[in-house]
Amino acid sequence: MLTRARKRDGEQGAALVEMAIVLPILVLLVFGIIEFGMAFNKRLTIGNATQSAARVATAVANNKYADITALRTLEQGLISLPNNGRDVIKSVWIYKAAPDGSPADCGGPCINKYTYSYNPFDPTACKWTPCPDPDVPPAETFKWDPEKRNATVGNLDVLGVRVYFSHKWITGAVPILDVKCELPPAGCWADTAIMRLEPQQLGVG
């Protein structure tokens, strides 16, 4: 009888040791799934918003409201992020794309660079710095002027939208440094969408 009791105690002790070994691994695995799931969701949200912004910008083509319309579309795509993404979106580039997708050169990089500067105390103010809204003075001087973009059939410009953003790991269970993303863009995650402008003259030369 005593031998059976000792055997049972030994099995329970072994089970506790096994649990002590396995439990931290299981906890780390669960928190890792949570962390990477949230990071993937953020990238997916920003990626979809970037695609939408580029699609709208190419449809608006060479209208003077092209950039501000694209940025407002981006804002709408970020509403599911905390604070509408204001804490993670560091810089947005709208640029003329070269054949390899990088910014083209037109006497300097053809890039209009914007930072998200939403002021919750003044919801009517422009949410971007510099402000590309033609109706908000002073008028912005563009590196790549929306009204000078080529939207003629046969010679369409290619437009790129690139969003630089940060990411902070929530639980601290993943031994990876936060993606801080400092300006000018360094150490950032980025998502890029490249599309050809939609023709505005439909074959008319």
Establish if 204 belongs to a structural domain: no
Query: What's the pLDDT score for residue 92?
Result: 97
Q: What is the pLDDT of residues 83-140, one digit of tens each?
A: 889 899 999 999 999 999 999 998 888 999 999 887 777 777 889 999 999 998 887 8
Establish if 156 belongs to a structural domain: yes
Establish if 180 belongs to a structural domain: yes
Total of domains in the chain: 1
3-class secondary-structure state, position 187: coil
Establish if 103 belongs to a structural domain: yes
Establish if 94 belongs to a structural domain: yes
Establish if 203 belongs to a structural domain: no
In the sheet with 189-196, reading across from the earlier edge strand, the strands are 128-129, 111-116, 89-96, 158-165, 189-196
Establish if 56 belongs to a structural domain: yes
Its pTM stands at: 0.84
Q: What are the Cα distances from residue 4, in Å, to 1, 12, 15, 16, 76?
A: 5, 12, 17, 18, 68
Domain containing 30: what range?
A: 2-196
Q: What is the pLDDT of residues 61-72, one digit of tens each?
A: 999 999 999 999
